[in-house]
Amino acid sequence: MGRPRRIQFPGACYLITLQGGRSGDLFITHQDRRQFLTALASAKERFGLKVYAYCLLPGRALVLLQTGQANLSRVMQSVGTSYTKSFNSAHGSSGKVFRGRFQALVVDQERYLVEMTRYVHLEPVRAKLTDRPWRYHWSSCRHYVQLLEKKTLVAAEEVLFTLGRNRLTASVRYLKTLRERMKAAADTVIPVARGRVVGHESFLERVEGRHEESRRPAGERGPGLVLARRILAEVAQDRGLPEERLLGRARWRDVSAARREAVHRIWKEAGIGVTEISRLFNRTPSAISQMIRAVEAGVKS
């Protein structure tokens, strides 16, 4: 049997795991770790990534990131090639640095993004390298619990915003949860569907649909957007509002509620990703994600 295809679509969020080859060490020196982060930062700028969390251990690296396009394989090829060159040059070696393919789980970020950052940040505790993950230098945990400079590799602010609008309050809540997990000796419990996604079976079915849509030639795409327009028209008609108002910037309560309903229905029913919805509504992907989370929270309560 052939190896399974990568699930790739615009706006996909992934938990990436990279393993060291040969001796098992992916990093030997601190300079190696710096070079890896440099390669990751370069890919972030080149491909328009969002890096939510990372953790570098001697034999492996974990990275939680979001791609803007359906191009994860190109992204990781760029990171891998750059790091392999610098590693071999530094240590007078040649050949592969990584063991096999990188592992990539697609993450249901509306439900598990915060949880997965905690999973990444607790990795050095599970590896018995430290009992204070926020002090482990080679992870992004400190960017979540300390007030550091704003221009960093990781988009910590975007994740913390889901825990509170006040940065300090959100950081305290984040740290409190980490401490509770460590005190209870409890690992993060996450659902993995068929070894491909962090999420439930319904999420896997949804992202597989987005993956197939993204693989079609540009001239053959569009059913998702056609359905999205139809849903938008239905919501506007039901609410007695013009479509242009839902697509505009008005923040009146009735307009905002209708806009959230339309965004959520499109996300659930049209099979298109957050990035495409953000283009339709002329919003940022993070703003669209917040609308979806708001509706999902209301449904659960």
Give the model confidence (pLDDT) of 223-277 as tens digits.
778 888 889 999 999 998 888 788 877 778 889 999 999 999 999 888 788 888 8
Q: What is the pLDDT of residue 299?
A: 62
Q: With CA atoms as reference, report the closest residue to 101 among 172, 29, 2.
A: 2
- Cβ contacts of 6 within 8 Å, gap of 6 or more: 72, 73, 104
Q: What is the pLDDT of residue 77?
A: 95
Least confident of 37-41, 98-102, 151-155, 190-194: 190-194
Residue 296 confidence (pLDDT) above 90: no
Instruction: For residues 54-81, give the mean pLDDT.
Output: 94
Instruction: For residues 153-166, give the mean pLDDT.
Output: 89
| 8 Å CB contact between 145 and 53 | no
Mean pLDDT of the chain: 86
| 8 Å CB contact between 210 and 272 | yes
Task: Dump pLDDT digits (tens) for 170-217.
Answer: 999 999 999 988 887 655 567 676 667 777 677 777 776 655 555 554
Q: What is the pLDDT of residue 213?
A: 52
Task: Dump pLDDT digits (tens) for 19-60.
Answer: 998 778 999 999 999 999 999 999 999 999 999 999 999 999
Sorted by where each starts, the structural domains of the chain and their CATH numbers stand as 13-193 (3.30.70.1290), 219-300 (1.10.1750.10)
pLDDT band at 222 (very low <50, low <70, confident <90, very high): low
Q: What is the pLDDT of residue 298?
A: 79
pTM beyond 0.75, yes or no: no
| 8 Å CB contact between 57 and 127 | yes
CB count in 10 Å sphere of residue 225 = 17
Q: What is the pLDDT of residue 241?
A: 87
Q: What is the pLDDT of residue 149?
A: 66
pLDDT > 90 in the chain, percent: 50
pLDDT band at 122 (very low <50, low <70, confident <90, very high): very high
Q: What is the pLDDT of residue 219?
A: 43
Task: For 5, list phi and psi in degrees, rounded to 5.
Answer: -70, 150
Residue 220 confidence (pLDDT) above 50: no
Sheet containing 13-19: which strands, arranged edge to edge? 50-56, 60-66, 13-19, 103-107, 197-198, 192-193
